[in-house]
Amino acid sequence: MSKKETNIKKEVKDKPVKGEALKQFKKDLKDQKNLTKINSKKILKGEVVTTENHKPNTEDNIIELVNVQKSYITGELETKVLKGVNISFKKGDFIVILGPSGSGKTTLLNIISGLDKTSKGDVFVLGHNLSLLKDSDLTKFRRDHVAFIFQQYNLLTNLTAKENAEVGENLAKVKNDKMTIEDIFETIGMKEQMNKYPHQMSGGQQQRVSIARALSKQPSILFGDEPTGALDEEMGRKVLEILVDVNKKYKTTIIVVTHNPNIADIANTVIHVRNGLIDEVKNNKNPKSPSEIDWS
């Protein structure tokens, strides 16, 4: 049996914990809630608050995780998904997160994007500790700073492509004349389809419109959860080309989670997640273009 197969089996066989460990988990959650009540508004206004005696390097890093743990409770059992993650993400980087099913990669994405909260540890994004933000303040943070591309396009069917993108534009905290709706549609190669409705477009075109909607928010970070998962090879490569172009043109930090290791070849940084921990971080000095990667 290979080392990889052994590790995957270990992930599947990981058992929930109970007893004293569960009591400690519940105490940590209670402490976190108390700190959140005290500090959430302060953090949203820009004050640095840490539970791990850590000061983030906001000059170079857009995200920093310190001893990040995430568990779920089922009855009297605690199941650990992330088990003490420590990692930094550079500003303006193109990052791909890889990992087998059950490794914790999607949970990691949800936590760094503000869709979910840690059980313990600090998650600094743009200097804000998301671990200590109330749900309402997390919503404000996501609205102002991040955008998402999902496997399913989630377009509003009664709106044109342009109108769908304008939904994102209306959420933009600061308007940027260098990233207008027209500029974005030119970047995604769909300027001629701006007035079409979703039912008049292919799956690949709809995914490109979802990218336009995300970009129109002018986010600091663009997250993609299997953004090419529902596309054929031709459209998948086109979407990846757009993401690479956006990263270079607008200096937007892009973080993509995928099960396809070949997509990692286009990234500057590749993060391997296994068994709830960062297994490996690779820096790619010469990323391939999407047209060069193996799609098999």
DSSP 245-279: HHHHHH--EEEEE-S-GGGGGG-SEEEEEETTEEE
Residue 38 has a pLDDT of 97
What distance in Å separates the CA atoms of residue 37 and residue 227, rounded to the nearest whole number?
35
**So where are the chain's domains?**
3-283
- Position 174 scores a pLDDT of 67
Read off the pLDDT of residues 128-161 as tens digits, 9 standing for 90 and up: 999 999 999 999 999 999 999 988 888 999 999 9
Strands 128-129 and 277-283: unpaired
pLDDT at 2: 41
Whole-number Å distance between alpha carbons of 162 and 159: 8
Mean pLDDT of the chain: 89
The answer to whether 25 and 71 are in contact (CB under 8 A) is: yes
In this structure, which topology does domain 3-283 adopt according to CATH?
A: Rossmann fold (3.40.50)
Q: In angstroms, rounded to a whole number, what is the distance separating the alpha carbons of residues 120 and 29?
A: 8
CB 139 within 8 A of CB 117: no
Contact (Cβ atoms closer than 8 angstroms) between residue 43 and residue 129: yes
**Cβ contacts of 166 within 8 Å, gap of 6 or more:** 181, 216
Strands 269-274 and 146-150: unpaired
Q: What is the percent of the chain with per-residue pLDDT over 90, rounded to a whole number?
A: 71
Q: How far from chain centre, in Å, is Cα 221? A: 8
Query: Residue 10 pLDDT more than 50?
Result: no
> How many CB atoms are closer than 10 A to CB 75?
7
Considering only CA atoms, which of 14, 8, 1 is closest in space to residue 101? 8
Model confidence at 5, in pLDDT bands (50, 70, 90)? very low
Angle at alpha carbon of residue 149, lines to 85 and 221, rounded to 5°:
55
Radius of gyration of the chain (CA): 20
pLDDT of 208 above 50: yes
